[in-house]
Amino acid sequence: MTTGLRERKKQATRAALHEAALRLVAEHGLDRVSVDDIAAAAEVSPRTFFNYFPSKDDAVIGLDPEHPLRLAEALSARPTTETPVQALRAVHAAEAARMAAETELWPLRLQVVDAHPALAARLTASFARSEQLLAEWLAARTGTRAELDVQPTLLAAVQGSVMRSALHRWRAGDYTASLPALVAEGWDQVEAGFPVPHR
Amino acid sequence: MTTGLRERKKQATRAALHEAALRLVAEHGLDRVSVDDIAAAAEVSPRTFFNYFPSKDDAVIGLDPEHPLRLAEALSARPTTETPVQALRAVHAAEAARMAAETELWPLRLQVVDAHPALAARLTASFARSEQLLAEWLAARTGTRAELDVQPTLLAAVQGSVMRSALHRWRAGDYTASLPALVAEGWDQVEAGFPVPHR
DNA sequence: CAGGAAAAGTGCAGGGACTGCAAACATGCG
DNA sequence: CGCATGTTTGCAGTCCCTGCACTTTTCCTG
């Protein structure tokens, strides 16, 4: 799992570009920051920027492209005695804990996403890749057809909704709540079929 | 509510631009169709294109910008004896029937969205506006806080998932199934809390 | 129905995102 | 060391999108 110099440098450059993009956009706004600005802040040429990210938006979001695969692996590692929802809950719990530990970047990401609908769309698109793999895993797990049966596609999408809703409330409450708790609260709703709240 | 010539012409131009964009992109692919091509096909100047749509992507998707508001109205018209989920089901049923009636455009939309992830992101963004209004309606209806409590945000997002999942399966089954039925099937899953499918 | 107000359409100039290509440059390996 | 392979960079070019100024069309009122 260790890395040569070359690989480490690439990771560093990628991270530098992402962080520069995120911080600059958080401070000045999406359309007042150019790719040239970002490249300059990360100390690479503008042309190099596009070796790392296909678009400015992607650099601002900057999620790990390997993430969907690791998610799928984590799910496959769950015991088959669990129901699909239980397995998803467990994986989400670990995920949320990891995200909450990044106390720097996630709040910034949520801030810029909130300020720029275009970025919200990109973030959702990033999740879409995970959802597709998830649907396939669900289909395999429950013996259903990923494309045609209800549960795989829908549950994969709902899982994304649970996470996004948790992130939204996390930010709305100024990060005082625990992200894993917010996620769990979402899953409770899902498992209970959205009961009418008592006043 | 009626329309002068001016208003009717605007609607016609908007529709012409959207349909031209959709058909051209469906046939040739997103990056082989320029805004100039679309404008030419709709017989307006390229500059005029941007009086109607803020971006090429939006023209391809081309959803009615008034739609979120009509959705919110439809919901407010539901009797307060219904649970939130019941009201959403009812509105979705009407919505799905209307969409299924557009036998020309929706299949094309789903085709291009499937072929171009960037467009999927835009489509989701279009839904996002509805989801926000929905969350507010839910909060008002159930006496919860839109930003902080679980149900408004999450159920609004899940509602979107139900519709998107239905659209996905509609296309996967070559439009042989009934869209309202697919939507209903989704809501059944939600209300039942995603039970383990029996094999 | 004339004529002006308001709205919509258009041309032009320009900034910025992004790509293909080919030349430097760095790294890893025999 | 020296070659093979991967990375960075500059350059030229296309296309998206915007602000501004100007023309054309629709509408309305006297």
Residue in A closest to B175 by C-alpha: A148
Cα(B109)–Cα(A42) distance, integer angstroms: 39
Cα(B139)–Cα(B153) distance, integer angstroms: 9
The 10s digit of each residue's pLDDT in B151-190 is 999 999 999 999 999 999 999 999 999 999 999 999 999 9
CATH number for the domain that contains residue B101: 1.10.357.10
* B6-17 residues labelled b (16+ CB within 10 A) or e (exposed): eeeeeeebbebb
Q: How far is the CA of B2 from the C1' of D29 (A)?
A: 21
| A178 lies in some domain | yes
Does one domain contain both B43 and B135?
A: no
| A121 lies in some domain | yes
Helix %, strand %, coil % for chain A, to 5?
Answer: 75, 0, 25
Is B197 within 8 Å of chain A by CB?
yes
The 10s digit of each residue's pLDDT in B69-106 is 999 999 999 999 999 999 999 999 999 999 999 999 99
Judge: B147–A172 Cβ closer than 8 Å, yes or no. yes
Largest interatomic CA distance in chain A: 60
Give residue A42's identity as a one-letter amino acid code.
Answer: A
| B116 lies in some domain | yes
| B150 lies in some domain | yes
List protein-proximal bases of chain D (any atom < 7 A from a CB): 6-11, 15-20, 26-28
Burial of B72 (0-12, 13-18, 19+ CB in 10 A): middle
Judge: B143–A168 Cβ closer than 8 Å, yes or no. no
Task: Count structural domains, chain A.
Answer: 2
> Which of A60, A77, A104 represents a domain boundary (last residue)?
A60
Does one domain contain both A42 and A121?
A: no
Judge: B199–A125 Cβ closer than 8 Å, yes or no. no
- CB of B70 under 7 A from strand D? no
Does one domain contain both A123 and A188?
A: yes
Q: How far is the CA of A52 from the C1' of C22 (A)?
A: 20
Query: Residue B124: which of A128, A146, A10 has the closest Cα?
Result: A128
Does one domain contain both A140 and A177?
A: yes
| B197 lies in some domain | no
Judge: A173–B85 Cβ closer than 8 Å, yes or no. no
> Which of A20, A38, A60 represents a domain boundary (last residue)?
A60
Does one domain contain both A173 and A109?
A: yes
Cα(A196)–Cα(B8) distance, integer angstroms: 44
Sequence-distant (6+) residues with CB within 8 A of A33 are A21, A24, A25
Judge: B194–A144 Cβ closer than 8 Å, yes or no. no
Is B122 in contact with B61 (CB distance < 8 Å)? yes
* Strand runs labelled E in chain B: none
> Which of B14, B41, B59 represents a domain boundary (last residue)?
B59
Cα(A143)–Cα(B198) distance, integer angstroms: 9
Cα(B181)–Cα(B187) distance, integer angstroms: 10
Does one domain contain both B32 and B128?
A: no
Q: How far is the CA of B104 from the C1' of C11 (A)?
A: 35
Query: pLDDT: is B197 or B135 the higher one?
Result: B135
Confidence of residue B2 (pLDDT cuts 50, 70, 90): low
Calculate the average pLDDT of chain B.
95
Q: For residue A198, give how far its alpha carbon lies from the nearest alpha carbon of chain B (Å).
A: 8
Which residue range forms the structural domain that includes residue A41? 5-60
**Per-residue pLDDT for B21 more than 80?**
yes
Confidence of residue B1 (pLDDT cuts 50, 70, 90): very low
Does one domain contain both B92 and B188?
A: yes
**Per-residue pLDDT for B36 more than 80?**
yes
- Percent of chain B residues past pLDDT 90, beyond the cut: 93
| B125 lies in some domain | yes
| A38 lies in some domain | yes
Successive 10-residue mean pLDDT values, chain A, 199 residues: 75 97 98 98 98 98 92 96 97 98 95 95 91 96 95 98 98 98 98 90
- B positions 164-193 inside 8 Å of A (CB): 164-165, 168-169, 172-173, 182, 185-186, 188-193
| Angle between helix A179-192 and A150-172 (nearest 10) | 140
Q: For residue B168, give how far its alpha carbon lies from the nearest alpha carbon of chain A (Å).
A: 8
A63-67, B137-141, B192-196: segment of lowest average pLDDT = A63-67
Per-residue pLDDT, B199? 61
Does one domain contain both B77 and B22?
A: no
CATH number for the domain that contains residue B44: 1.10.10.60
- CB of A55 under 7 A from strand C? yes
Per-residue pLDDT, B7? 87
Backbone phi, then psi, for A11, in 5-degree steps?
A: -60, -40
Does one domain contain both B96 and B180?
A: yes
- CB of B15 under 7 A from strand C? no
- CB of B55 under 7 A from strand D? yes
CA distances from A138 to A44, A111, B157 (A): 42, 32, 20
Query: Residue B155 CA to chain centroid, in angstroms?
Result: 17
Residue position matching structure tokens 């219904």? B82
- CB of A51 under 7 A from strand D? yes
Best to test chain B binding among A56, A60, A63, A150 (most B CBs inside 10 Å):
A150
**Per-residue pLDDT for B16 more than 60?**
yes
Does one domain contain both B112 and B177?
A: yes
Does one domain contain both B112 and B178?
A: yes
Cα(A157)–Cα(A142) distance, integer angstroms: 16
**Per-residue pLDDT for B27 more than 50?**
yes
Sequence-distant (6+) residues with CB within 8 A of A76 are A137
Cα(B119)–Cα(B114) distance, integer angstroms: 8
List protein-proximal bases of chain C (any atom < 7 A from a CB): 7-12, 16-21, 27-29
| A197 lies in some domain | no
Does one domain contain both A187 and A89?
A: yes
**Per-residue pLDDT for B4 more than 90?**
no
